[in-house]
Structure 1
Amino acid sequence: MRALALAPAFVSLAIALGLITATAHAADTPRDIKGLYLMTDYPAITVRPGTTSTISLRLQNYGLDPQQYQLSVAGVPSGWTATILGGGQPVAAAMPAPDSSVPLQLRLDVPANAALSQQTLTIKAEGQGNQATNQAASQASLPLVVSLAKELPAKLTVTPQLPSLRGSPKSNFEYTLSIKNDSGRDLTASFAAQAPENFETSFTEAYGTQELSSIPIPAGQSKDIKLKVRPPSTIGAGHFPVTVTVKAEDASAKADLALDIVGEPQLQVAGRDGLLSARAVAAQQSSIPIVVTNSGTAPAENVTLNASAPTGWKVTFEPSTIDRLVPGKDAEVQALVTPSDKSLAGDYMVSVNANSRGESASSQFRITVATSTVWGVVGAGVIGVALLLMLGAVARFGRR
């Protein structure tokens, strides 16, 4: 009984699924279109007297045998010139293959003294026709409405991809700007940048290095350019505006940009009281005070110290790392310098370096080395013994 009760439900579901499948199949079936069509994307246009305009057309064949179609334009006002182009040259006929189209163009030359009015031109394609096709299928026409009007003023827009950038004073800030010509004619756009004092600016191609001051832009199209901004290395942290102005004839546009410059440390290395000289003794450890200063605009973290010294010398620092050095402050460490035991008396150069995450500084210290006093005493003793031996020899042999 339960099976019998469920049977109608399964039947209904199957019928519903069948209807859905049939509907989907019908939706996927292409419409049965057959004939010849003249088409354009813009069947109504506005042109300015004294100019030449080009309108894109296409002759479409849906399911017809290939044949030659004569092309013509009717309703052309006196003084106007209408020319049908194919492949960039004037043509009088076209032959589209079945289920394909032939691209065409209509070039209109309107005299400068033409009255501001509206005209309707008719583009025609006419075939010979045959018994297999009726007269309607062997011809097509396209009405084109042409309105004459004064030229609209030039119009420009400039759009930055990233209007605000962040970096350090050592960074190069690069902005990509898209300039669009919204006019009905080609324009040459010039551009300039207003930046804070001592900021360097330059314009280049979007994908090149050639510097530019202007660029041609066809009507209705856009061009991308790149603005490079380099701040002075001594600039402090802050927010800095940059304004780009684009001009062409009587049109102009502006874009507001910004640089957010973050602080960075700037290290300096010197001796106490600014001295860059010290004294040491060969084979003996000497302590030389080293002062590290942060004259930048951001803290210096984990400042490490190292030295470059003559061969055989030993140089260490105590402490070897400064954990944090805030702007405007300094820290003193001790350089423990031990010249080689083979060092002769004289002046030697030792380079002391401080590094903090890419920021570094160094200074040259002149170390005057003296020989050890122990060796001086030993030398004096040797000389004394030699003198005593010589005096004894003179006294002994002198009496003979």
Structure 2
Amino acid sequence: MSRLGSFAGDKMKTRGRKVRGSAYLAVPFVLLAFVATASTAFAATESTSKTAIFARVTWKVVKPGDAVDFDLQITNGARLGEDPVTYDLKILDLPEGWQEKFFYQGEQVKSLTLKPGESLTVTVEILTAPNSSTGIYQLTFMAYSWMAEYASTQSLSVELREPIREINLVATFPGIVAQVGETVQHSIVIQNRGESGESLRLSALAPEGWSTRFITQDKSEVSSVYLAAGQSITLALETETTDNATPGGYTLTVRASSEDGVVNALMELMIALREKENVSDFDFVSRFPEVTAEAGKSLTYPITLRNLSANDQEIILSVVTAPEKWKTAFKSGDTEVTRITLNPSQSLDLIFQATPPSEVSVGDYSIVVEAESGSTVKQVVFKAKVVGLYKLDVQPSTLYTSVTAGNPLTTTVKVTNSGLSPVTTLSIQVTAPSGWDVSFSPARALSLDPKDSYSFTVTVVPPSNTVAGDYLISVKALSDQYVSDEVQLRVTVEAPTSWALAGVVVAVIAVSLLIFIFKKFSRR
């Protein structure tokens, strides 16, 4: 057996060495001895090895019984043209009860074959023994072949210790002011700052008669939570105070405890209760306080009035503020109302109607309405979004005209903004038969206000060889906001005068020829 083979065999039989207890002070000396021994043993190999091993991470921390893995890159440094090399994989100094596995691309392997210059990355998985003592274990990964010059090693370190466990509770607003009888919500953050996952039981100690519960962001009630290492979660602690509580300061104690009771986190929260304010005698609400409508159309908002008292309530309705020239009304069916009487616990649905003027500009508007009963006043703010109502009408100066082939035809097209909102970049589009020349002026108008009109001069020229007959020309208006319907203009094309004279001459000749023939044969 070669020197390398003998040394590798001896190393495979050796138990891993561990640094522990008071021996920590001797760690540098042990490591130096280990390095010196390895250097001497592998001197013949490492100094001339054609194999390189690289590991980005060589030290990992786990608890006894856990698995740890390292990624190692093996490179065959032989020159091109040499034969591929098969490497056996081994962990030297493996402690008793530990297990090793090697994986390449998810498949478990025991050896690899590399071509000259080729590199592959293998994953070394080491399963530690549950009964291993805590401390630092020095291991050696070896990739070797039957040829000593292809063997190489990489030192690895595994530190066994129990994971750090730490739970923290944080509240951005630990003190909240509320009225007697109200339900209070504290936002709390539970953080797992340890190195292992924790299942935590949650509890809150509150004054007698008060109730508490932990609520997630999706409104679920929970009593425990699991957090992975480094994970945190935000919960709401909902505390329901009693109606007979005395105004003053109160303390809540929040606790998060691990299942084994080893890890605990406590946090105190404060609630300052003040006297309960007078409750409104009625509700005045709207389910849809924001409405969008086209300019010129009415906006409607549903309103619900509800008597919360044990007595009849007379409620007066009014508009506090509204845009200028807007018409407003409270309606029950088709009847306008300004004063409502409700029996105890009775509710009534109304409609608030707002109608903007026809010249209203596109934009957002607000209307504030009010309901008053005795000393209680409730307000609702309605939002109105008015969008443009656009329409363009096209009117040619005539719907029927005629022109001689080859001559220009000029007509006027008037475009009227019949909508309720201005339009911009106004122009027209003229479609004529193929081969006809079409032009119009001006090219465009920058804008056109509602009810205003703008005229375009359109010129079309049919080719001189156009066959006489009726033709259609289509015109439509264009703007940034709206495109009108097409309007058609009927054009009768007549033949040029020269062609007409030629026709007359031909007709005269034909008639003369017929007369001549008739006279000649009638004499016989």
- Give the TM-score of the pair, scaled to structure 2: 0.38
- Give the TM-score of the pair, scaled to structure 1: 0.47
